[in-house]
Structure 1
Amino acid sequence: MTTLAPFAPVAPPEPGLTPEEIVARAEALAATLVERQAETERRGFYAEDTHEAFARAGFYRILVPRRYGGYEFGPETFVKVSMALARGCPSTGWMYLFGAAHALVVGTLFDEATQAELFAGGDFICPATVAPAGSARPDGEGGWLLDGTWSYCSGAPYATHFIGHTLVARGEGEPPAPMLFIVPREQFERLDDWGAQLGLKGSGSHSIRIEGGRVPGNHTLGGHLSQMAVTEDLPGRRLHGPEYGGGPLSFMLLELGVLAVGMAKGALDAYEELMRSRTTAFFPIVPRTEDPDFQFRYGEATGMIAAAEAAVLHATQQWQDLCRKDAAAFTREEELRLATISREAVRLAWRAVEGQLFPTAGSSSVRAGERIERVWRDLSTLHSHAGNGVFLSSLANRELAQAHFGTGVR
Structure 2
Amino acid sequence: MTGRAAWPDAGPLGTAADTAGGNAMDADAAGRLAADTVEALAAAGFPGGFGPPGEAGAGATFGEVTKAVAAIGEGCASAAWIASLWAYNGRFSAYLPAEGQQEVWAKGPDTRLVSSMVAAGVEAEPVDGGWTLSGTWLYVSGVEFADWALLSSAPPREGDRSIRVFAVPKDSFTHRETWSTLGMRATGSHTLVVDRAFVPEYRCFLWDDMRQGNLPGPASTVHAAPLFAVNGLTFAAPILGAARGALDLVGQHLGRQPSGARAAARESSRIAFARAAGEIDAAELLLSRVAATADEGRLGEEGVAERCHRDSTLAVEILVGAVDRLFHVTGTRGQATSHGMQRIWRDVHAAGSHAALQFEPAALGYTRRLLPA
TM-score normalised to the size of structure 2?
A: 0.89
- Alignment partner, residue 262 of structure 1: 241
Question: In the alignment, residue 396 of structure 1 is paired with which amino acid?
Answer: A
The CA distance in 1 between the partners of 2:121 and 2:10, in whole Å, is 38
1:100–1:124 Cα contact (<8 Å) kept: no
Which residue of the other structure, out of 319, 322, 343, is the alignment partner of 1:352?
322
Matched position secondary structure for 1:133: strand
The CA distance in 2 between the partners of 1:151 and 1:82, in whole Å, is 23
2:53–2:220 Cα contact (<8 Å) kept: no
The CA distance in 2 between the partners of 1:80 and 1:24, in whole Å, is 15
Aligned length: 366
- Alignment partner, residue 269 of structure 2: 294
Please say if 1:342 is aligned against 2:312. Answer: yes
Please say if 1:272 is aligned against 2:256. Answer: no
Matched position secondary structure for 2:177: coil
The CA distance in 1 between the partners of 2:112 and 2:22, in whole Å, is 25
The CA distance in 2 between the partners of 1:351 and 1:155, in whole Å, is 28
2:148–2:169 Cα contact (<8 Å) kept: yes
* CA displacement 1:112-134 (0-9 Å, x = unmatched): 22212211112132222222333
- Alignment partner, residue 285 of structure 2: 310
Point out where structure 2 has 5 or more consecutive residues left out of the alignment: none
1:74–1:243 Cα contact (<8 Å) kept: yes
The CA distance in 1 between the partners of 2:170 and 2:257, in whole Å, is 49
The percentage of aligned residue pairs carrying the same residue is 23
Aligned residues: CA RMSD: 2.7
2:161–2:207 Cα contact (<8 Å) kept: no
Which residue of the other structure, out of 55, 62, 67, is the alignment partner of 1:68?
55
Larger radius of gyration, structure 1 or 2?
A: 1
The CA distance in 1 between the partners of 2:34 and 2:263, in whole Å, is 45
Q: CA deviation at 1:333?
A: 4.0
- Alignment partner, residue 113 of structure 1: 99
Decide whether aligned partners of structure 1 residues 281 and 213 sit closer, same or farther in structure 2, where only a CA change above 3 A counts: farther
The CA distance in 1 between the partners of 2:355 and 2:133, in whole Å, is 25
- Alignment partner, residue 164 of structure 2: 179
The CA distance in 2 between the partners of 1:304 and 1:158, in whole Å, is 35
2:230–2:290 Cα contact (<8 Å) kept: no
* CA displacement 1:214-247 (0-9 Å, x = unmatched): 111122223447x7223x5x235x1x63322111
Please say if 1:361 is aligned against 2:340. Answer: no
2:19–2:37 Cα contact (<8 Å) kept: no
The CA distance in 2 between the partners of 1:244 and 1:203, in whole Å, is 25
Question: In the alignment, residue 394 of structure 1 is paired with which amino acid?
Answer: E
Question: In the alignment, residue 258 of structure 1 is paired with which amino acid?
Answer: A
Decide whether aligned partners of structure 1 residues 176 and 148 sit closer, same or farther in structure 2, where only a CA change above 3 A counts: farther
The CA distance in 2 between the partners of 1:330 and 1:377, in whole Å, is 36
- Alignment partner, residue 6 of structure 2: 18
- Alignment partner, residue 185 of structure 2: 201
Q: CA deviation at 1:403?
A: 4.8
- Alignment partner, residue 145 of structure 2: 158
Decide whether aligned partners of structure 1 residues 141 and 34 sit closer, same or farther in structure 2, where only a CA change above 3 A counts: same
Decide whether aligned partners of structure 1 residues 157 and 376 sit closer, same or farther in structure 2, where only a CA change above 3 A counts: same
Please say if 1:54 is aligned against 2:54. Answer: no
Decide whether aligned partners of structure 1 residues 394 and 313 sit closer, same or farther in structure 2, where only a CA change above 3 A counts: same
Decide whether aligned partners of structure 1 residues 250 and 88 sit closer, same or farther in structure 2, where only a CA change above 3 A counts: same
1:167–1:177 Cα contact (<8 Å) kept: no
The CA distance in 2 between the partners of 1:209 and 1:66, in whole Å, is 29
Please say if 1:88 is aligned against 2:75. Answer: yes
The CA distance in 2 between the partners of 1:199 and 1:332, in whole Å, is 37
Please say if 1:97 is aligned against 2:84. Answer: yes
- Alignment partner, residue 211 of structure 2: 228
Q: CA deviation at 1:73?
A: 1.8
* CA displacement 1:56-97 (0-9 Å, x = unmatched): 332322112473333212222111111111111011111221
Decide whether aligned partners of structure 1 residues 211 and 382 sit closer, same or farther in structure 2, where only a CA change above 3 A counts: same
Of 296-305 and 56-65, more deviation after overlay is shown by 56-65
Q: CA deviation at 1:314?
A: 1.7
The CA distance in 1 between the partners of 2:16 and 2:65, in whole Å, is 15
Matched position secondary structure for 2:83: helix
Matched position secondary structure for 2:118: coil
2:37–2:79 Cα contact (<8 Å) kept: no
Of 198-207 and 28-37, more deviation after overlay is shown by 28-37
1:23–1:80 Cα contact (<8 Å) kept: no
The CA distance in 2 between the partners of 1:166 and 1:42, in whole Å, is 34
Decide whether aligned partners of structure 1 residues 96 and 143 sit closer, same or farther in structure 2, where only a CA change above 3 A counts: same
The CA distance in 2 between the partners of 1:283 and 1:208, in whole Å, is 49
Decide whether aligned partners of structure 1 residues 242 and 365 sit closer, same or farther in structure 2, where only a CA change above 3 A counts: closer
Highest RCO, 1 vs 2 (Cα 8 Å, sep ≥ 6): 2
Matched position secondary structure for 1:69: coil
- Alignment partner, residue 245 of structure 1: 224
Please say if 1:382 is aligned against 2:355. Answer: no
Over 4 Å off, 4+ runs? 403-407
